[in-house]
Amino acid sequence: MICLIIIVLMTCKVISIHADEGQLVFTIKEPLQNEDGFRASTRTLERARGTSNWWEFHQYNIGIMNPDGTEFKRLTDDALSRKPRLSPDGELIAYISGVDGSKSLYMMWADGSEKTQLLKKIYNIHDFWWSPTSHAVLVVVEIDRPKDRLENWVVPVKGDISKWRTRYWAQGWLHWDVKGEKINQPNRRLIEVLPEGIQWPKWSPDRKWIAFITDGVMAIAAPEVVSMGRSWFLQLNEPPCGAIEEWSPDGKQILFYTSGDICIANVEKGRFTSYQNISLYQGRSATWSPDGKQIAFIGADSNRRRTSEIFIIDVESGNLKQITSTTHDYVDLHWQ
C-alpha cells in the first residue's frame, strides 16, 4: 500500500491508495426501515398513497472497498447518494445526491471526508466524466424549461463553472481532450454524416474513436475522419448490442452487453476483429480494472438469494470470483 500526502485547498490529508489494483466504489441499495420499506423488500408494495417515488421506499448510500472485498466502508449516510466515480488519480469521489427534480453534485475524499456540494438543486444530472487530470468534471445537466433542456457544464474542484448551451452536443458529444486540459467539440458535420438518433457515444481513451449503438448493433466511427467530409458505413460484422459500458484503458477493447450478457469486442485501428461473451452470465455496471486485465460487475447472488453481489472475472482465464455476500443490493459500480 502506498500512502500519498495530498494538499488541496490548503488542507493536508493522508489517503491510502491501492496504486496497482485501484478501488471499487458503488451504491448500496437498502429498504427503508419502515413499513413501506418492508413491503418493497418483500415485493408486496402497496401504493396506497398513489406514488412510486423511490426515496419513499429505499435508501441509497455510497461505499468503497478493495477489489479483494476487504476494507469495506460506507462513505455517506444521507440515504440519497448515487453514481459515485473515483477521479483518475484515485483521490476524490464525485457523486450525485438528491431526489428527482432536485439533484446536487458532490465531491469528497476517497475516505468519505470533507464532502463538498459543487452543484445545488439541479432539475436532473444525467451523467458526468472526470478530467484525465482529476481537476474537474464535465457534467450533463437538465434545466426545467420548455426546450433545449440539456446543457454541458465544466465543474472544477476549485474555481468557476463553465457552461455550454448547445442542443447538438448535449448528449455525450462534448468530451475532454487526451491531456484533460480542455473540452473538445466535434465538427457539426459529424452528426450530419452518421445515422440519425445517435446519443451518448463512448469515446476511446485517445479520443480518436467513438462507439455507439445504431439499429441494434454497436458501431465505431472516427469523428475527425468523418468530419472531413468522408462517408461512413457499417463494417457488416457489428455485434448486436443492448448497451455499451466503456472502452478498456488501452483502447483495444470495448465492454458491452448482448441480451444482458457481458461481452467484449476486440478493436484494431477502428475495426472489430473478434468478440467474446466474457460472463455467460447476466450482469450490469460492468467496469474495467485499471490495468484492463479484469472486469468487475454486479450480478445475482450465486447462492440464489435475492440480493445482487459484486463479481470479478479475469479476462484472459475467465476465472470468476464473487467478492461480496451481503443482505443488500449493489448498483452504480465503478473501478478506478
Residues 6-49 pLDDT 10s? 223 333 333 333 446 899 999 999 988 766 555 555 555 444 44
Higher per-residue confidence, 147 vs 56: 147
- Give the number of C-alpha atoms closer than 13 A to the C-alpha of residue 52, restricted to the C-beta side: 0
CA distances from 80 to 29, 76, 126, 137 (A): 10, 9, 16, 20
Higher per-residue confidence, 252 vs 196: 252
- What pLDDT, on the 0 to 100 scale, is given for residue 73? 97
Mean pLDDT of 54-69: 89
Write down the pTM of the prediction: 0.87
Output the nine-digit C-alpha cell for 301: 447472488
Terminal alpha carbon distance of the chain: 15
CB burial string 86-96: b at 16+ within 10 A, e below: bbebbbbbbbb
Q: Distance (Å, rounded) from C-alpha 45 to C-alpha 40?
A: 5
Predicted confidence (pLDDT) at residue 257 exceeds the cutoff of 90? yes
Residue 166: helix, strand or coil by DSSP? coil
- Closest to 175 measured CA to CA, from 195, 143, 135, 205: 205
Predicted confidence (pLDDT) at residue 230 exceeds the cutoff of 80? no
Output the nine-digit C-alpha cell for 327: 443482505
Q: Distance (Å, rounded) from C-alpha 330 to C-alpha 61?
A: 10
Please state the three-class secondary structure of 231-253 as a single string.
Answer: CCCCCCCCCECCEEEEECCCCCE
Q: Under a CB-based contact definition with an 8 Å cutoff, are residues 167 and 148 in contact?
A: yes
Q: Under a CB-based contact definition with an 8 Å cutoff, are residues 146 and 128 in contact?
A: no
Q: Distance (Å, rounded) from C-alpha 282 to C-alpha 300?
A: 8
- What pLDDT, on the 0 to 100 scale, is given for residue 6? 28
Q: Which residues have a Cβ under 8 Å from the Cβ of 170 and sit 6 or more positions away? A: 140, 150, 151, 152
pLDDT tens, residue by residue, 75-98: 999 999 999 999 999 999 999 999
Measured CA angle at 21 (ends 17, 23), to 5 deg? 55
- Closest to 133 measured CA to CA, from 185, 180, 174: 180
> Would you tell me how many other CB atoms lie within 10 Å of the CB of residue 148?
11
Of the ranges 3-12, 128-137, 204-213, which one carries the lowest mean pLDDT score? 3-12
